[in-house]
Chains A and B, each alone.
Chain A
């Protein structure tokens, strides 16, 4: 497990980091938590000429809620911090459900949410969560910052839209209107395994009525799947056994799983259906379930 030769830089300002990426001219990689990149280096699946370690950049290790309820996660905010977050625990159930399911405790100590989005692994849990929540990524380059909706940020397996001299500095979850509900479930053979299938569900409710819904799927396609049709089917009415079953069916149809040693395509689709149904049933107020 010996990587190819590379140059290593650890700049202390974001401007220096961007300048180094520019020097690297596409042959440079940003190192944050390193939980995906370092294994790729050791296996020689990735062989960049330059590694730009951003761990010394000041002011990126935060997550916070703005007064309006917008949640912001800095590029050096570790999964473990999100797992322990009272902000997520009290305000954002989908993220709070996902945080303890990211990889294993060792990975969570180092890995970052923003890094996970950039890595764009179709098995990445956060990409589904942020997609379901309609979040975006803030990218910073030599000419300033731009916002990129996460659905457009990930362009395919292990591909994102960042220019080679841009750094993703923040992920943003927009402020909800009304009350929030949702959850994240994933089936894995063992803690730290890639998901056999995972489902993120995020709702905004006004009373019993769903005003916004997002459903996204992990590990059942070439990249994160936005099951928009399934989500849309929930909007405008209350959660009922029928609407839940319908949305779960549509989510299963949106999945594009491949059969592999984690399970057959049919099984994975079945898990998507079951998990969407389970999350929505849990969310559904008990009074309505009784009715």
Chain B
């Protein structure tokens, strides 16, 4: 008789157990970088450039040094004497730590002050006098590429223009042929505005260099502590074993906390120079104007169409704005990230993508804001192009998608740009979504409303995206392959500690990793402690971003648990006095095949590992696993929104939103749903209100939360969530990434809905954000509204 445990009861796979980390977060007992106070700690503040492009004539720090309590003032010149004025970026460019020759964007780091308290440090920053010689400013790619444009990166020897790269992928000849055969070519020009991940906790660090032990400990806001350790070892030329990076509780990341920022480097040097711990905590404006932004890219897209709705080919040309330094934090081997994951869910025979990157006088550090790099843009462009094409064909937008989907029996499928998708039920997801929103009824309602001058619209967005960076063929960071790791140690009473190379920042790893262990070993989830973020204790891993934790580290957790189970099986055989081949496993228990009543629990095996192991067996019950995924995971999302546009004001209200996500097997459905709702909210924000723009002088509009808008509970619409489950064929527990799906697929659903509502005007496009004045302009002027919202002045 078997006695298998009820998996849901022990918090295993599929259990919506409450997040264990919330206990301390809700009670205000989290431990963020700014909560850490070390004896003798000093405080650092950064002086930033008020100008977007200017030569630095001189920096006078003498008044700052005179202020009591000031311990150190650093300038670029002083950094340069230690070869630290510049640092390498993750995209093989260089970035200024403190400006030496020029400032290249508003908010660039010019000097820093270390003092007894942050008030003094701030006062001293204001006492520094910088003499700037203003230079002409470039705020968009058109200006960057213009004849005679000022050279932003005159520091680089072979750089003679403002082009960062030209790159292409796909088959140009085949694509040209496809366009020659087309009945119809649908064209669309789009802009994905600059946005910001904007975690509530800004960036910060406490560097603590101990002269006696020669050890450098850095507490910092990073999504990838081991990468940082490697970078610090390389940049600061310190021995790697003498560096300890600790990423404590993080107040969100969303990609913003992947890069190495100048503030971290300065705090490290400041600690080495002062021999005191130095804390740097960025303020909100500093975070918004100087750290990794998202998007800021233009598309010219074309679809070659057959009259019956079949897509024959796709052309895309993107122009991206990288700011002053090419410090995109992306691990793929492709210059424009995964832009060429576009159209992966559609059967498109030929495709060609060209991409140009440009330097501008704007903040650097494009990051994958809640996405695998450029996937958000790829899917937005794809789904806007799909809607425009359906309209051009005069075809129903759902039917047009369905006709072009890769069929369920057509996997593995080579995507138009060369990725390999492995599974999916795209048509089924769309059907579930259309049924949930009441598609046919809504179309009737819309028709009726039109008669009364009301404007209703429905927008669909369907996409599969590559998640889980990544397999080592296509990904690395500074040459390091993108595997991940887990280490599991089962104590003698059957409790356990699990450490991984990922780093939770709100995703709930402390809850979900324990569930995978529960699923594999039958140890109740509540008996498993999960620890991440300390490079002295965690196994080497690549961190958490790009929805890679579950696909990669989560797989490593399953694999290490299986290794532990393999040893436990030997212990069970020993305890049951049978050979290993006669042992069967059920959740939480080994038993004798011929006599199921005779069994031992995993806890009994654990005790035996420390007290009664067989002769010749190494004591203990622990292991470590490194996992290099064979492929990406390919979740699918179908997002449908309905809206009503007020024709008098351009204000639009969301009526309903339906999300159907196929992320494979769900570890914790509640957490998955939370991820999807959060992602949809960020999608709604980008579609409706968010942008960072710049005036002609390079002044950043969007430097605080009065200008850069985060939606509140007040305006955030409600969501109806559905699921379809197609397990990943290669992931050990069939899971796929999901954290970013709704952020990636959501924006096009909202924009398509508004565009559908105003379809009769003939307007093809309004670029995000769809602020009421832009919608009103399209409605009344009957023309496209393109580009970033202008910083208008009447002067």
Contact = CB atoms under 8 A, between A and B. Distances in A.
A3 B118 CA distance: 10
A270 B776 contact: yes
B455 to A, nearest CB: 15
Given A190-B715, A261-B791, A1 B773 contact: no
User: Of residues B121, B689, B709, B710, which shows the largest number of chain A Cβ atoms within 10 Å of its Cβ?
Assistant: B709
Contacts of B794: 258-259, 265
A193 interface: yes
Interface in B738-795: 771-773, 776-777, 789-794
A261 B792 contact: yes
Given A259-B793, A260-B792, A274 B771 contact: no
B651 interface: yes
A8 interface: no
A194 B706 contact: yes
Contact of B772 (A187, A259, A265): A187
Interface string A184-197: 00010111111010
Given A1-B283, A193-B709, A271 B649 contact: yes
Contact of A267 (B119, B689, B773): B773
B81 interface: no
Nearest to A1: B283
User: Of residues A1, A3, A5, A265, which shows the largest number of chain B Cβ atoms within 10 Å of its Cβ?
Assistant: A1
Q: At the interface, is chain A mostly helix, strand, loop or mixed?
A: loop
Nearest to A4: B123
Interface in B682-709: 689, 693, 701, 706-707, 709
Contacts of A262: 771, 773
Nearest to B122: A2
B714 interface: yes
Interface in B495-529: none
B712 A192 contact: yes
Contacts of A267: 773, 776-777
Contacts of A288: none
Given A189-B771, A190-B711, A263-B773, A1 B284 contact: yes
B648 interface: yes
Contacts of B773: 196, 262-264, 267
B792 A259 contact: yes
B791 A260 contact: yes
A249 to B, nearest CB: 15
Interface residues of B, number: 34
Contact of A5 (B119, B693, B701): B119
Contacts of A1: 283-284
A261 B709 CA distance: 12
Interface in A163-201: 187, 189-194, 196
Interface string A243-280: 00000000000000011111111010011001000000
Interface in A213-239: none
Contact of B789 (A193, A261, A270): A261
A261 B790 CA distance: 6
A104 interface: yes
B715 A191 contact: yes
Given A196-B772, A263-B771, A2 B119 contact: yes
User: Of residues A261, A262, A267, which shows the largest number of chain B Cβ atoms within 10 Å of its Cβ?
Assistant: A261
A189 B652 CA distance: 11
Contact of A104 (B45, B123, B649, B714): B714
Interface in B27-50: 45
Contact of B712 (A191, A265, A274): A191
B118 A2 contact: yes
Contacts, number: 69
A191 B118 CA distance: 32
Nearest to B651: A187
A1 B651 CA distance: 34
B712 A264 contact: no
B648 A274 contact: yes
Contacts of A194: 706
Contacts of A274: 648-649
Given A258-B794, A264-B773, A190 B651 contact: no
Contacts of B714: 104, 190-191
Contacts of A2: 45, 118-119, 121-122
Contact of B706 (A3, A193, A265): A193
Interface in A70-117: 104
Interface in B663-694: 689, 693
A44 B772 CA distance: 33
B712 A261 contact: no
A1 B123 CA distance: 11
A104 B126 CA distance: 33
A193 B791 CA distance: 17
B228 to A, nearest CB: 26
Contacts of B791: 260-261
A264 B792 contact: yes
A189 B709 contact: yes
A189 B701 CA distance: 15
Nearest to A42: B283
Contacts of A187: 649, 651, 772
A11 B709 CA distance: 38
A5 to B, nearest CB: 7
Contacts of B715: 190-191
Contacts of A260: 791-793
A265 B791 CA distance: 12
Given A258-B793, A271-B649, A190 B284 contact: no
Contacts of A196: 772-773
Contacts of A191: 712, 714-715
Contacts of A265: 794
A264 B791 CA distance: 10
B198 to A, nearest CB: 14
B231 to A, nearest CB: 29
Contacts of B126: 44
User: Of residues B119, B123, B649, B706, which shows the largest number of chain A Cβ atoms within 10 Å of its Cβ?
Assistant: B649
User: Of residues B284, B710, B715, which shows the largest number of chain A Cβ atoms within 10 Å of its Cβ?
Assistant: B715
Nearest to A192: B712
Contact of A190 (B118, B122, B123, B689): B689
Interface string A122-155: 0000000000000000000000000000000000
A5 B117 CA distance: 13
A194 B649 CA distance: 17
Contacts of A193: 706, 709
Given A196-B773, A263-B773, A267-B773, A189 B689 contact: yes
Nearest to B705: A192
Contacts of B122: 2, 44
A263 B712 CA distance: 21
Contacts of A259: 792-794
A271 B780 CA distance: 14
Contacts of A190: 689, 709-712, 714-715
B420 to A, nearest CB: 42
Given A5-B119, A194-B706, A258-B794, A263 B701 contact: no
Contacts of B123: 4-5
B45 to A, nearest CB: 8
Interface string B641-662: 0000000110100000000000
Contacts of B707: 261
Contacts of B693: 261
Nearest to A257: B794
Interface in B97-128: 118-119, 121-123, 126
Nearest to A273: B648
24 contacts: A2-B121, A2-B122, A5-B119, A44-B122, A104-B712, A189-B709, A189-B771, A189-B772, A190-B714, A190-B715, A191-B712, A196-B772, A259-B794, A260-B791, A260-B792, A260-B793, A261-B707, A261-B789, A262-B771, A262-B773, A267-B773, A267-B776, A274-B648, A274-B649
Given A44-B126, A189-B689, A267-B773, 5 more contacts: A44-B122, A191-B715, A193-B709, A260-B792, A263-B773
